[in-house]
Amino acid sequence: MELNISEHTRNILGLQLPTDPRWVNLAEIELEEILTDHAYCEQKAATTCISLIQKNPEKTLLLEKLSPIVTEEWGHFRMVLSELKKRNLPLGRQRKDVYVNKLIAFQKKGGSPQERFLDQMLIMALIEARSCERFKRLSEGLVDQYMRKFYRKFMESEAGHYTLFITLAEHYIDKKIVRQRWSEWLEYEKELMNSAEVRGDRIH
């Protein structure tokens, strides 16, 4: 089965607020913390895709498209672990992800199975979109040329992930419903980013 990516989907996936330019400078100072947080982000992306597969075994296209994403995200986790090892740095403890927790708080509670599924897909799309934007910032703004290239690889690899989650949602749910809810998510994330503390020890 093939995904048909609508023109609207291609055009709508613009985040409403760019990352504060100060974030890259802070991230470079706290690179050990960034690498640790990044590793856990990749791990959580893989395990969330596994969870989506487990919860939706009847959705054949979802299974086909997310299965390779699990492998890819786990490969990214291993890449970051390897980078930490090269620097003689420990993985460190997983930290509370304020950004993701605030996104989860926006999910509809007690809605229909379709509404819950839609929000699950859109929150993943949003996390992937913001992650990709942050990787782009690192690939362009870090002083360290090696780390620029390191994050360029992640940006290029993950650039299509957020589109995939939107398109899968549109495959199972009416496109108008998906687009309306996605616009609400984008507006919410804009306000979230606008009020968030600028920290250099987190990917998000």
Model pTM? 0.91
CATH architecture of 22-195: Up-down Bundle (1.20)
In the chain, domain spans: 22-195
Average pLDDT, the chain: 91
- Helix/strand/coil for 191: helix
Rg of the chain, C-alpha, whole Å: 17
Identity at 115, one-letter amino acid code: E
How confident is residue 159, by pLDDT bands cut at 50, 70 and 90? confident
Sign of CA dihedral 187, 177, 100, 145: negative
Percent of the chain with pLDDT over 70: 94
Residue 134 reports pLDDT greater than 60: yes
CA distance 101 to 85: 29
pLDDT in tens, 52-99: 999 999 999 999 999 999 999 999 999 999 999 999 999 988 888 899
User: Tell me, what's the pLDDT at 5?
Assistant: 44
Identity at 164, one-letter amino acid code: L
| CB of 126 closer than 8 Å to CB of 104 | no
pLDDT in tens, 162-197: 899 999 999 999 999 999 999 999 999 999 999 999
Distances in Å between the Cα of 118 and the Cα atoms of 138, 151, 185, 194 are 30, 30, 11, 25
